[in-house]
Amino acid sequence: MNDKLSYKDAGVDIDAGNSLVSEIKPIVQKTFDTNVLGGIGSFAGAYQLPQGYKNPVLLSATDGVGTKLKLAIESKRFGTVGEDLVAMCVNDLICNFATPLFFLDYYATGKLEVSEAKEVISGIANGCLKAECALIGGETAEMPNMYRDGDFDLAGFAVGIAEKDEIDRSSKVQDGDYLIALPSSGIHSNGYSLVRKLFFEKLNMKFDDKFGNSTLIETLLTPTRIYVKEFKKFQKYINAMAHITGGGITENLPRVLPNGLGAEIEKKKIRTLPIFEFISQYVDEVEMFRTFNMGVGMVLVVSEKNVDRIINHSDGYIIGRVVAGDRKVVYI
């Protein structure tokens, strides 16, 4: 009788991990550009810095998906949360005028299900393609008893490059600048603890309930929009950018305003999405604007002379102005 234990007896399947790496290799390699050195499977990802910068600085951002991930797990829909993961990181980078270079992910689970993990990582790769950055590495950790059956968690790490004198955007903002909203694709990846409590505890709704032209779960899992291409297109015409995440416009826009200036936003001009109109029946307006993006995923601060150029070549629209104030948002 052989009573010796193996790692698999303890709940960790090395063969499953190797199988996953094998299956995701061609997916990940699609994100590579000419600056990626080596392939997948080394101890670290290598990336050659691009040429042409005068005083380059590397910037980094990290984030997760929050409790939106819980909805993906409960509904067994894993294809888009990876895209959310990339979006939350790269959308922050571009607010400091950093062009995303590469991305790494951390996937932790109690028991590795190769097919599920492949879907998640495929979503990450898809997000990297949209963000025009390379997925050069990651870590998959199988930790029995750390997570309940079926649970997993995600973390993402993005690195970008910028000119040193371009990083501080608040110094570029002037009284009278226009505020241009780039629409969100939905709730993005913030406020889902409130969303889950409202829809599934208070209202007892089901994933497959109709919501507009879709189902509720499809609406709630709509991936976060990635704004990297818009940033690259309009970079030289933008004074500052604010990624509207947790805290909404109310908390995030002041982060790019200098002392002595505030923001005045016309609420009626915001193109609020149906999902927010529905939620607002049950949540106070002030709480809505401090929790959700309300249909605005990114706010561009733009000089008057550059407004038409951006409006005419994007889906952006004006929602307000920069005014004298104490770094606060006032809704009118």
Domain that holds residue 95: 14-166
Task: Tell me the pLDDT band of 158, cut-offs 50, 70 and 90.
Answer: very high
The enclosing domain of 292 has a CATH number of 3.90.650.10
Other Cβ atoms closer than 10 A to 7: 10
Position with higher pLDDT, 248 vs 2: 248
The predicted model scores a pTM of 0.95
Mean pLDDT of 156-163: 98
The CA distances from residue 210 to 3, 85, 194, 207, 282, in Å, are 54, 26, 20, 9, 19
Same domain? For 78 and 132 the reply is yes
Boundary (domain end) residue, out of 166, 189, 219 = 166
Give the mean pLDDT of the chain.
94
Same domain? For 189 and 310 the reply is yes
Same domain? For 149 and 175 the reply is no
Residue 267 lies in a domain: yes
* Confidence (pLDDT) at 226: 98
Residue 4 lies in a domain: no
Boundary (domain end) residue, out of 137, 166, 195 = 166
pLDDT, one tens digit per residue, over 177-196 is 999 999 999 999 999 999 99
Q: How many domains does the chain have?
A: 2
Boundary (domain end) residue, out of 123, 140, 166 = 166
Same domain? For 128 and 261 the reply is no
Task: Tell me the pLDDT band of 39, cut-offs 50, 70 and 90.
Answer: confident
Please state which of the ranges 6-10, 139-143, 219-223, 292-296 shows the lowest mean pLDDT. Answer: 6-10
* Confidence (pLDDT) at 76: 96
- Per DSSP, the chain holds a count of helices (H) and strands (E) of 11, 14
Same domain? For 162 and 233 the reply is no
The enclosing domain of 124 has a CATH number of 3.30.1330.10
Task: Tell me the pLDDT band of 34, cut-offs 50, 70 and 90.
Answer: very high
* Confidence (pLDDT) at 17: 79
Strand partners, 156: 63, 105
Same domain? For 199 and 314 the reply is yes
Same domain? For 21 and 162 the reply is yes
pLDDT, one tens digit per residue, over 193-217 is 999 999 999 999 999 999 999 999 9
* CA–CA gap between residue 171 and residue 164 (Å, rounded): 13
